[in-house]
Amino acid sequence: MSAVIDRGFGIFEIDLEENGMPTRTACYLIRDEKNVIIETGPSPSNKHILAAIEQQGLTPDDIDMIIVTHIHLDHAGGAGLLLSQCPNATLYVHYKGLPHLVDPSKLIGSAKAVYGDNFIPFFDPILPADGERTKPLNDGDKIAIGADRELEIWETPGHALIHNVIYDPASKGFFTGDSGGVYFRIINDLWNVPFVIPSTSPTQFDPQAMDNSYQRMIDKQPQRLYFTHFGMAEPALDYLQQAKDMVPLFGQEAVELYQQERSQDKLQDFIQNSLYEKLAAQGVPTDREELACMDLDINLNTQGIIAYVRRLEKNK
């Protein structure tokens, strides 16, 4: 049985167990007049979506819409596969990302270059999405899914150049993709300490754009956040403000350190120590093995900052 949690408002959180890791990546099923899947994760997680659909007494034929926040493979790698299984569904994606889902050859090539032998267990297969059933999304678009319920599309660059979040007026919540950051729910569960960090993973981190996107979401005054990594969190403003306040750590302090030291190890240690200090200040013991849940994102954020510095230097 796939882990599915009813979050109210017809929203169901599905644990995709990406790469065998529970509470790493989520997608969401919204049940209204239309049945909507938000995020697909990579193709190897597809079985968890199908199981959740079945648990809800539905079949893939009942899915009307699939929406992805951006085309990174942990969010949309399985979009083509899921679309092929849901014959009545339409896939929605940022207009600049649409061509890459219809023809994923560049995504596949890049992923193979980065992941090598891990490409197959992590992502295979990446199927082309049917262009006849794929629609582009622009900032400000609205998608009707029920009586007086329209999902709102907000363009939020910063983590990636091509990124949308989805605002649901019924729940007053954002489906954040990576623009909301990475929420470590286990820290909240164990120590009652909400903890979220910005996602600066490779390769398009832009601190100013990220700060602007956080502020834009804060100005909406949402009540809930539906993180892809991982799960529903409230009150939303606490998490958004916490992540926004950390943008200078990643976008300025860490950048300056790498510019001076040119050491990935020193940069990664700096980020880990800075985050552990923030946790310790809130009473979280930093010698607990549960904090290993942060290791992957600390490493990815480190790589993203290095890519950002190199881009800055290349553009000088």
Q: In the numeric block, which tokens belong to residue 138?
A: 């622009």
Pick the CATH number of 4-245 from 3.10.20.90, 3.90.1300.10, 3.40.640.10, 3.60.15.10: 3.60.15.10
Q: Give mean pLDDT, residues 23-44.
A: 98
Q: In the numeric block, which tokens belong to residue 279?
A: 């946790």
Q: Is residue 315 predicted with pLDDT exceeding 80? A: yes
pLDDT attached to residue 256: 98
Alpha-carbon torsion angle 254, 258, 264, 270, nearest 10: -40
- Phi, psi dihedral angles at 177 (to 5 degrees): 55, -125
What pLDDT digit, counting tens, does each position of 103-155 carry? Answer: 999 999 988 887 889 999 999 999 999 999 999 999 999 999 999 999 999 99
Alpha carbon separation from 247 to 64, 242, 269 (Å, rounded)? 37, 9, 17
pLDDT attached to residue 139: 98
Boundaries of CATH 3.60.15.10 in the chain? 4-245
pLDDT attached to residue 170: 98
Amino acid at 69: T
Per-residue buried b or exposed e for 98-117, using 16+ beta carbons within 10 Å of the residue's own CB: bebbbebeebbeebeeeeee
Q: Is residue 200 predicted with pLDDT exceeding 70? A: yes
What band does 1 get if pLDDT is binned at 50, 70 and 90? low
Which is nearest to 305 in space by CA: 273, 272, 257?
257
Which is nearest to 168 in space by CA: 5, 3, 12?
12
What pLDDT digit, counting tens, does each position of 158-193 carry? Answer: 999 999 999 999 999 999 999 999 999 999 999 999
pLDDT attached to residue 203: 87
pLDDT attached to residue 115: 86
pLDDT attached to residue 113: 83
Q: Give mean pLDDT, residues 42-49.
A: 97
Which is nearest to 31 in space by CA: 13, 50, 15, 18?
13
Tell me how far apart the alpha carbons of residues 254 and 248 are, in angstroms, rounded to a whole number.
8
Instruction: Kindly report the average pLDDT of the chain as a whole number.
Output: 96
What pLDDT digit, counting tens, does each position of 241-265 carry? Answer: 999 999 999 999 999 999 999 999 9
What band does 5 get if pLDDT is binned at 50, 70 and 90? very high
